[in-house]
Structure 1
Amino acid sequence: MSLSIPRILTLTTRRYKDLAVYVQINCVPNGSTGGIMLNEHKDRLANGDTSYAFWGRGRSPKNKGEWKFANEAGCKTHALLDRLTGKHGFYSSFATRKLLRRLDEIGPDVVHLHNIHGYYVNIPMLFGWLAEHDCKVEWTLHDCWAFTGHCAYFTYVKCAQWRTHCAYSKKCPQLHAYPMTYSPFTCSWNFEQKKKYFTLVPAERMRLITPSKWLADLVGESFLAKYPVEVRHNTIDASVFKPTPSDFRVRYGIGNRFMVLGVASPWSDRKGLGDFVRLASELDSGRFVIVLVGLSEKQIGKLANILVALPKTENKEQLAEAYSAADVFVHPGVEETFDMTVAEAQACGTPVIVTAGSACAEISDSDAATVVPADLSTLKATIVKLARGGRVVLASRTDSAVQLAAIYSAADIFFNPTVEDNFPTVNLEAEACGTPVVTYDTGGCSETIEAPCSFCCGDYEAALARIALQAYSRSHCSPCRNKAKAPSI
């Protein structure tokens, strides 16, 4: 027995030595970055580590280990001062002092930073603490704000001042973009201060994480280049984002039109809003419909007459329904570091169109994605080409005559490519529901064709030509149209 006790103690000591104490910090607990932070927090807990999730704005904590350390008044004051001075990240000293006291109590092994912009934390205080304490720092960059003097993105305006010194040779072109300010004088100062404080932590203790190689390459050209960078693609919940049947098309009056979907929040020209508006005005509304999810009330009021304008939703199941209903998901933005919506749409079985040169082109599944240049005419031509290719909807077998009748009735054409069936009754069923049939002149097919708008063809090319002709006319012949349609289900 005396020999077994040290063995047990040794094993116990080794197990707890491998575990660590993590602290996750982000501006909010919701949205894409908040979801990533909380998923990281849950993964650490599942691994047996001790983990905390801290944020500055948003909902109150719900679970053990969560903490909202700032308050709304402090965040609004930070935002107001930033609007006047342009010094984003240099206020909120009271909230940051509370955060640092809690970090002192916890003594974390790893502090994992996410978005540290967002009017809730003081940069000099936070990085001063990180530099003085012997903990590892992981910093997930969700945008480019960390290495610019002001903006979170710069590709859209084609600005490269961040590579050397922001606002040194000319003024910042994006003072009115997030984080908006009226002060034209602090962009250069911000750049210098960020470079000073963000590089305080030794390179051997801080690791940067980016969701795409595109962003990692930009980091390598910035003043953060001395830090190791890990590319870690964001993941989605595959149990939610999967092909999801619903009445989405009926609910919003889309019908059989080719549905072009866009999802973002907030929407802006940087996200491609202007491109969607032009597409809605240029594409034939009888054949195409633009659906945008995530619009503000003001935007919905302006756009509801030209497209299907929907507000933001936090309901993932509703998003999966929208993705699954769409014929194509379009992401015309050029500045995304890793847009979850592209991966979500593809997981729902919807092909996507993304812009070349962005991280979206990097993360999209090449088999289900079309990459186009940042050019509206090319985007429009690509959508029209995809629409000509048709849409494939897979359905399992059913023994319900009512369901079959509804499917026949919904179709414009019933194509039966059988070559050996001696009497395919499905042809009779389709015609009885008012739908013309195109089939081959083999077996007993010709004996099941009665309506003058149905045709037996000699080969595939002839059948394809007949289908194209029928689709172009977009109408059934009189004998078919006059037959009673089966009720929809």
Structure 2
Amino acid sequence: MKIALLQSGNQGFFPRFYSDLTRTVEKNGDELRLFVPNTGINNRRKVPHQVIWGSRLNWHFHFYMYRLTGLQDIWSFFSTIDLIRKIRKYSPDVINFHVVNDCNLCIPLLVRYINNHNIPVVWTFHDVRAITGRCAYFDEVGCYKWKTGCYDCPTNNNWLTPSLVDNTRLEWKIRKKWFTIISNLTIVTPSEWLACYVRESYFKDHPILVINNGIDTSEFAKEQTNISPQILNNGKKIILGVASVWNKSKGIDTMEWLGEHLGDDYQVVVVGNIENELKKKALHLLCLPPTNIKSELIAIYQKADVFVNPTMEDNFPTVNIEALASGIPVITYKTGGSAECLDSKCGIAVEKGNRKALLEAVIYLCSHFEAYSRENCIERSKCFSLSQFDKYVELYHCVSNK
């Protein structure tokens, strides 16, 4: 069986997700190709079995048309024709959408092709942008206009440069019209939190499944000695946070607040890229750059005493699973599906935005390690192992009847 996977960019968590999915698909004797638009990041970060479609000129044209009109999903006509040509040549049995509405596709053209050729679609939602007129997350601002029709979007929309006009009302209508007429569509969400929202959206009449993100938990459980000398400190308790990019939505200001209030017995360490203005304010943090060497990242996890994820917008963060698989307990806000990987023996979830409760949880956990043991954390992480990707393979075969 052939699977075509559509994704806007090889960045963030996605390359690891794709690598693990590819291994599982090929182990089953099936074939997978990744179709990505012609952007700088996709050309720099090539992955196996990658097919690039469209042109750089198209991406710039689409982006500037979005800036002028506030509409994202209708401009890339010629690039979408190129994508369709390459999909036709590959002749997949299933198409798996991931993030596709990101200034690179003419959705009506693609949907017509899919329906005319009766190709089943599995759509993995990594955020909520497919059910809104623009934003990737709405819970931080408490906006639920998407249930009946977006307008006057209140979000800052950090993931995309703002348009000159707010056209979210029309964009929501375009998405509702074209997304919901895909004839054979199954939606997958990594968290029950997101699935609940999708069931309230215009996708409510389509099958909606939850398949949690998975990782190679055994790899994170192996003891690593490759550790940064910067965090080999004088017996302090290490409070760790990891993100690909740290900003206010990821909770960098909360990590700084913890560093200020925890005292000299603790060291708060953050790994990842930090915006320059925010980094200048991070006076109580040890900031480490991101690493693409997995053994280094695992070693940092294993050196920590507690993992803290103060995210304000998230779906089912893989970093929580990585921390558990490394044997360290997790403290997180009850944001999105961030707490869904925890049980009472491996971590604590507190109300979103309650810094005092987060601080108290860190102090409590650091004095009760026996109740949140390494063994408990590793055992819990096994619920989110690579076996999650077997569920994708089963779903591909189910929807294609092959």
TM-score interval for Structure 1 and Structure 2 normalised by the shorter chain: 0.7 to 0.9
CA deviations on 1:2-27 (whole Å, 9 max, x unpaired) are: xxxxxxxxxxxxxxxxxx22111111
1:345 matched to 2:289? The reply is: no
Structure 2 unaligned segments of length 5 or more: list them.
375-402
Contact kept in structure 1, 2:227 and 2:296, CA below 8 Å: no
SS in 1 for 2:244: coil
1:211 matched to 2:190? The reply is: yes
Contact kept in structure 2, 1:243 and 1:347, CA below 8 Å: no
> How far did 1:214 drift?
1.0
1:142 matched to 2:120? The reply is: no
> How far did 1:359 drift?
0.6
> How far did 1:358 drift?
2.8
SS in 1 for 2:348: strand
> How far did 1:63 drift?
7.0
> How far did 1:130 drift?
1.6
Report the TM-score when normalising by structure 1: 0.70
- What's the C-alpha RMSD, in Å, of the aligned pairs? 2.4
CA deviations on 1:43-96 (whole Å, 9 max, x unpaired) are: 223222232221124344867642121444433443333233321233332321
Letter in 1 for 2:108: P
SS in 2 for 1:367: coil
1:309 pairs, out of 287, 305, 310, with 287
Residue 262 of structure 1 is matched in structure 2 by: 241
1:118 pairs, out of 89, 102, 110, with 102
> How far did 1:304 drift?
5.3
* Pair 99,251 (structure 1): closer, same or farther in 2 beyond 3 Å: same
Letter in 2 for 1:155: D
Residue 237 of structure 1 is matched in structure 2 by: 216
Contact kept in structure 1, 2:269 and 2:288, CA below 8 Å: yes
Tell me, in whole angstroms, the C-alpha distance in 2 between the residues paired with 1:120 and 1:144. 18
* Pair 65,79 (structure 1): closer, same or farther in 2 beyond 3 Å: same
Contact kept in structure 2, 1:113 and 1:137, CA below 8 Å: yes
SS in 2 for 1:295: strand
> How far did 1:239 drift?
4.0
Letter in 1 for 2:76: S
Range that drifts further, 217-226 or 48-57: 48-57
Tell me, in whole angstroms, the C-alpha distance in 2 between the residues paired with 1:254 and 1:193. 55
SS in 2 for 1:119: coil
Tell me, in whole angstroms, the C-alpha distance in 2 between the residues paired with 1:63 and 1:389. 43
Residue 74 of structure 2 is matched in structure 1 by: 90
Tell me, in whole angstroms, the C-alpha distance in 2 between the residues paired with 1:259 and 1:315. 21
Contact kept in structure 2, 1:323 and 1:345, CA below 8 Å: yes
Contact kept in structure 2, 1:219 and 1:225, CA below 8 Å: yes
> How far did 1:308 drift?
0.7
Tell me, in whole angstroms, the C-alpha distance in 2 between the residues paired with 1:348 and 1:247. 14
1:106 matched to 2:85? The reply is: no
SS in 2 for 1:353: strand
Report the TM-score when normalising by structure 2: 0.84
Tell me, in whole angstroms, the C-alpha distance in 2 between the residues paired with 1:160 and 1:393. 40
Percent of residue pairs identical: 29
Tell me, in whole angstroms, the C-alpha distance in 2 between the residues paired with 1:389 and 1:299. 36
Residue 260 of structure 2 is matched in structure 1 by: 281
SS in 1 for 2:331: strand
Residue 149 of structure 2 is matched in structure 1 by: 165
Tell me, in whole angstroms, the C-alpha distance in 2 between the residues paired with 1:123 and 1:152. 18
Residue 7 of structure 1 is matched in structure 2 by: none
* Pair 83,178 (structure 1): closer, same or farther in 2 beyond 3 Å: farther
* Pair 81,247 (structure 1): closer, same or farther in 2 beyond 3 Å: same
Tell me, in whole angstroms, the C-alpha distance in 2 between the residues paired with 1:289 and 1:299. 22
1:55 matched to 2:73? The reply is: no
Tell me, in whole angstroms, the C-alpha distance in 2 between the residues paired with 1:47 and 1:350. 33
> How far did 1:357 drift?
5.2
* Pair 295,176 (structure 1): closer, same or farther in 2 beyond 3 Å: same
1:381 matched to 2:365? The reply is: no
1:22 matched to 2:3? The reply is: yes
> How far did 1:99 drift?
0.6
* Pair 181,137 (structure 1): closer, same or farther in 2 beyond 3 Å: same
> How far did 1:259 drift?
1.1
Tell me which structure has the larger Cα radius of gyration.
1
> How far did 1:247 drift?
6.1
Structure 1 unaligned segments of length 5 or more: list them.
1-19, 395-489
Contact kept in structure 1, 2:331 and 2:347, CA below 8 Å: yes
